[in-house]
Chain A
Amino acid sequence: MIREPLIFEISGKGKRAFSLPELDVPSREDILQGLPVRENIEGFPQVSEVEIIRHFTRLSKANYCVDEGFYPLGSCTMKYNPKINEKIAAISEFVLSHPYAPFDLVQGNLGILKTTEELMNEITGMDAFSFLPAAGAQGELVGMMLIRAYLEERGNPRKIVLIPDSAHGTNPSSAHICGYNIQEIESNEKGTIDISSLEQNMTEDVAALMITNPNTLGVFEADIKKISEIVHAKGGFVYMDGANMNALVGICRPGDMDVDVIHLNLHKTFSTPHGGGGPGSGPVGVKRELEPYLPLPTIKKSEDKYILDFDRPKSIGRVRSFFGNFLVVVKAMVYILSLGPRGLKEVSEIAVLNSNYVRKSLEKDYFLKYTTPTLHECVFSDKFQKKHGVQNIDIAKRLIDFGVHPPTMSFPLIVQGALMTEPTETESKRDLDLFIDAMKQISKEAKENPEIVKSAPHSSYVRRLDETSAARSPVLRWVEKK
């Protein structure tokens, strides 16, 4: 792989990659009077079109991606991104429509938002959805705001949100932005919420419990109805983080589990691409009770036409501009319609089969802190390998040499040295076996030749980047050398 310089390093005066048609109106200097005109944009690049194409083509080759191979990243649901979704989201009437267009001129777009809402209601058992949140974290924030608004209206927003110790980091940070203090609930020896811990902590000071189901260990919280009961009895709400929805599609529905509000990640369960870090979409679904508080605007049908509804006095207000990541919603709708009821159920069935196959194949090689049956993901740890000085991060780096992206390592915090593994339903047996064989091989190396694991990766272009000096003395942009 050729090392690719920064675009600024190959820039040169006189090179051009683009031109505009000539100005067809008179050009006037006097209109600049009184304006703070900049002399120059120092350092701004000048390259040719060929250089642009080569630069980005080469950079792209330095990226691993789903189109290339497997990403067993727990909680991320890195499934295949169907290409027909991309083609349809590129239809010009969708792409070139302005968000301030009068509603009667964009009925197609509004129809897509409303129809997808109805599809999500059916899939999740909730009563209404908002597609405004741009990502799961924003969805969580909105969900918590809805709860708070409801409680505030009744005189007391309460102070605390209960979060299991296995939760994803966005859960506490979202609750905090909402003005709540966090109280951690312990997991029991099965890895699920400890009911007595919940009972003890559920008071009238608690606004909500944030739960992920199945949880981040891949275990279904079978007591969810009892959990909801305990929370509801004291006037609190149950928020479900829908990041793990891939285990439940067509099998069971959060709405049927007495959950009050959920968010989904369209870039997880609903196949929209990750794009190297977005754009995603984190729609929020609610039961009737919380519907009046949904952010502005919602879509409704009025006399055969779709309209934007801003006349919602209880709404929490706007959480972003316009209507959400519309083109991402289009992709999710295409996906749902391409699968149909049978295909949707198959998603979860195969996701769970693939995960259990991986689990069964590796359970002797890697420590499973919790032996409880798991659904679409499971969490191994580096306990056996640690005896030889090999940690999860070393295993992760060594996997790169086998052409596989490492599993999730930064959580759940309740498993030390975690390797959270979620294959998703789109992986073939061959790719699963490649992963399994790689993991077995690494486990063997950890015993017989730990150095090769600890100094991995050996085959990637850059190896073991110095993250410490990147944080101690950050260099966050290119600077022109004078």
Chain B
Amino acid sequence: MSYTSLSDKDKKEMMSRVGISSMEELFRTIPEGMKLKRELKVPSALTEIELIHHFEKIAKQNKYSEFLSFLGAGAYPHVIPYVVDYLSSRGEFVTPYTPYQPEVSQGTLQAIFEFQTLICLLTGMDVANASLYDGASAAAEAVLMAHRLKQKSNVLVAKTLHPQYRKTIKTYVRNLDIKIEEFGFSETGEIDFESLSSKMDEGTSAVVCQSPNFLGVVEDIKKISDLAHSTKALSVVVVTEPVSLGLLEAPGKLGADIVTGEGQSFGIPLSFGGPYLGFMACLKEFIRQFPGRIAGETKDVDGKRGFVLTLSTREQHIRRERATSNICTNQALCALRATIFLETLGLDGLKELAWQNIQKANYALEKLTQVEGIKRKFHGNFFNEFVIEFSGSLPKVESSLREKGILGGLYLREFYPELENCSLLCVTEMFKREEIDRLVKSLEEALKE
């Protein structure tokens, strides 16, 4: 299959105008010695039907869909209203270029402006950008931004920030004058305030926490922000599960200076990890150091309202090596999905969604802790994820659950050695009561074995 559109006659006419008699002449500027003298060793072309069969066969090698899975940890199974897929698959949204020419991109630009507004409303901040790659790289960009603003090297990062996000931050700062230091968590699952205070000093540019954190626990953002501000450091709050913002107070109202996170919960399917949707928002005084594309409202020459990409001088195509970030292509179509999702859910829908998440998760934990051998690990408040601890051999429990067709959450031993017998479970609105009951019953049986 070829997607070219030239007829034999077209080709002849064009070659004649260019002044060549063979296609090889087009490549005369490439030295002969460098040219490939053979065909590429890739499989012969497959037709559309063959492609569908080929990939359906590959898809059947995935067995994940056969399981009832309680995995969360930065990627959340949520409802996606059908209109999200329907609208975001329109060619006018899927196939345009970046909106550098605003006259022909008002659709994309207005959608971005709405997205930015929605993020500001949810996070309680003044300004949001048009998206970053994902929550992890967004957290890293936030650290770089704090460093540019404060010109100080130390950044304190909570151990309860998603392990992948912490690793990503470390990679991004490795060649810059930024030192990352981690501080631990307490018995409740919240951050250890003493540990944090003891590490803060005049050289701290930011304190980075996640809420709800990786262990599912909701942090006291006000207390953390006040502590950060006491040494003039910035409070960076990371939200990996933004559905929580349908219920919980906006970090901006609790003292956060920069709020960043993962928007996958907003209408983006699990997708085996990508593409996802990083978002970032900040206070307006930080705008010049803010990374990423931003759409702004303006008027045209006839006084009509329109939208444009603005404050572009922060970006790579103008500032080059002194740009606030090297980001060029971002995650526009994912941001569009999130925009449609949030506007479709609306105020009541989002609140209801958040409510169902916290209720179902609480129901699950309540029933689970009634099973002998299962303990609630952390007593801090949670949203839709929590940690349970098993007495006895976890691998045995794991395999027993697998046999019953269940994936019992994320086992934490590889991330926190001290949480060897613990699992992080996520329960969202997608789980029916009987599915939660099935989990409880299966665990009961597994622990008896």
Say how far A84's CB is from chain B's closest CB, in angstroms. Answer: 5
Among A250, A350, A474, point to the contact of B39 (Cβ < 8 A). Answer: A250
When distances are taken between beta carbons in the complex, the residues of chain B under 8 Å from A35 are 218, 247-248, 381
Among B44, B323, B436, point to the contact of A340 (Cβ < 8 A). Answer: B44
Taking a contact as CB atoms under 8 Å apart, the answer to whether A46 and B133 are in contact is no
Interface band, chain A: 35 or more
When distances are taken between beta carbons in the complex, the residues of chain B under 8 Å from A105 are 62-64, 67
Known: A137-B316, A343-B45, A471-B311. A276 touches B99 (CB 8 A): yes
A467 to B99, CA, bound (A): 13
Say how far B85's CB is from chain A's closest CB, in angstroms. Answer: 8
A36 to B190, CA, bound (A): 14
CB-CB contacts of A26-37 with B at 8 A, as 1s and 0s? 111001111111
Say how far B293's CB is from chain A's closest CB, in angstroms. Answer: 7
Known: A18-B349, A275-B333, A337-B54. A251 touches B407 (CB 8 A): no
Known: A105-B67, A274-B96. A134 touches B6 (CB 8 A): no
When distances are taken between beta carbons in the complex, the residues of chain A under 8 Å from B436 are 25
When distances are taken between beta carbons in the complex, the residues of chain A under 8 Å from B369 are none
- Nearest-neighbor residue (CB-CB) of B323 within chain A: A173
Interface band, chain B: 35 or more
Known: A42-B121, A345-B39. A87 touches B52 (CB 8 A): yes
Taking a contact as CB atoms under 8 Å apart, the answer to whether B429 and A20 are in contact is yes
When distances are taken between beta carbons in the complex, the residues of chain B under 8 Å from A44 are 118, 121-122, 342, 346-347, 350
Among B41, B44, B171, B381, point to the contact of A34 (Cβ < 8 A). Answer: B381
A261 to B348, CA, bound (A): 51
When distances are taken between beta carbons in the complex, the residues of chain B under 8 Å from A102 are 407
Say how far A217's CB is from chain B's closest CB, in angstroms. Answer: 12
- Nearest-neighbor residue (CB-CB) of A410 within chain B: B317
A35 to B218, CA, bound (A): 8
Taking a contact as CB atoms under 8 Å apart, the answer to whether B29 and A375 are in contact is yes
A107 to B272, CA, bound (A): 12
Taking a contact as CB atoms under 8 Å apart, the answer to whether A251 and B27 are in contact is yes
Chain B CB within 8 A of A68 CB? yes
Chain B CB within 8 A of A389 CB? no
Chain A CB within 8 A of B441 CB? no
Chain A binding site: helix, strand, loop or mixed by DSSP?
Answer: loop
Taking a contact as CB atoms under 8 Å apart, the answer to whether A334 and B51 are in contact is yes
When distances are taken between beta carbons in the complex, the residues of chain B under 8 Å from A338 are 1, 45-48, 51
Known: A278-B131, A324-B274. A93 touches B59 (CB 8 A): yes
Taking a contact as CB atoms under 8 Å apart, the answer to whether A276 and B75 are in contact is no
- Nearest-neighbor residue (CB-CB) of A330 within chain B: B55
CB-CB contacts of B269-305 with A at 8 A, as 1s and 0s? 1111111100000000001000001111111111010
Among the 9-residue stretches A177-185, A194-202, A380-388, A438-446, the one with 4 or more Cβ atoms under 8 Å from chain B is A177-185
CB-CB contacts of A63-85 with B at 8 A, as 1s and 0s? 11111100101001011111010
Known: A91-B59, A256-B34, A317-B171. A46 touches B44 (CB 8 A): no
Taking a contact as CB atoms under 8 Å apart, the answer to whether A252 and B165 are in contact is no
Taking a contact as CB atoms under 8 Å apart, the answer to whether A138 and B133 are in contact is yes
When distances are taken between beta carbons in the complex, the residues of chain B under 8 Å from A40 are 347
When distances are taken between beta carbons in the complex, the residues of chain B under 8 Å from A463 are 103, 300-302
A475 to B302, CA, bound (A): 19
Taking a contact as CB atoms under 8 Å apart, the answer to whether A135 and B328 are in contact is yes
When distances are taken between beta carbons in the complex, the residues of chain B under 8 Å from A252 are 30, 34-36
Chain B CB within 8 A of A406 CB? yes
Chain A CB within 8 A of B10 CB? yes
A467 to B95, CA, bound (A): 25
- Nearest-neighbor residue (CB-CB) of A1 within chain B: B106
Known: A20-B352, A405-B104. A53 touches B10 (CB 8 A): no
Interface residues in B7-35 (C-beta closer than 8 Å to A): 7, 10-11, 13-15, 17-19, 23, 26-31, 34-35
Taking a contact as CB atoms under 8 Å apart, the answer to whether A464 and B18 are in contact is no
Taking a contact as CB atoms under 8 Å apart, the answer to whether B3 and A82 are in contact is yes
- Nearest-neighbor residue (CB-CB) of B347 within chain A: A44
Chain B CB within 8 A of A216 CB? no
Chain A CB within 8 A of B60 CB? yes
A344 to B43, CA, bound (A): 11
Known: A17-B349, A38-B248, A111-B58. A328 touches B135 (CB 8 A): no
A133 to B153, CA, bound (A): 26
Interface residues in A304-346 (C-beta closer than 8 Å to B): 316-328, 330, 334, 336-346
Chain A CB within 8 A of B413 CB? no
When distances are taken between beta carbons in the complex, the residues of chain B under 8 Å from A34 are 381
Say how far B117's CB is from chain A's closest CB, in angstroms. Answer: 4
A275 to B336, CA, bound (A): 9
Taking a contact as CB atoms under 8 Å apart, the answer to whether A98 and B343 are in contact is no
Taking a contact as CB atoms under 8 Å apart, the answer to whether A60 and B107 are in contact is yes
Taking a contact as CB atoms under 8 Å apart, the answer to whether A122 and B40 are in contact is yes
Chain A CB within 8 A of B214 CB? no
Chain A CB within 8 A of B149 CB? no
Taking a contact as CB atoms under 8 Å apart, the answer to whether A319 and B137 are in contact is yes
7 residue pairs, one from A and one from B, having the closest CB atoms = A322-B273, A340-B45, A275-B333, A179-B175, A277-B332, A99-B273, A279-B275
- Name 12 A/B residue pairs within 8 A (Cβ), A-sorted: A16-B348, A41-B246, A62-B105, A63-B93, A134-B133, A136-B328, A276-B96, A277-B130, A321-B162, A426-B3, A465-B102, A477-B116
Question: Given A134-B275, A338-B47, 13 other A-B contacts at CB below 8 A?
Answer: A17-B344, A19-B349, A26-B363, A52-B83, A84-B48, A93-B59, A96-B77, A173-B326, A174-B326, A275-B95, A340-B45, A344-B40, A353-B23
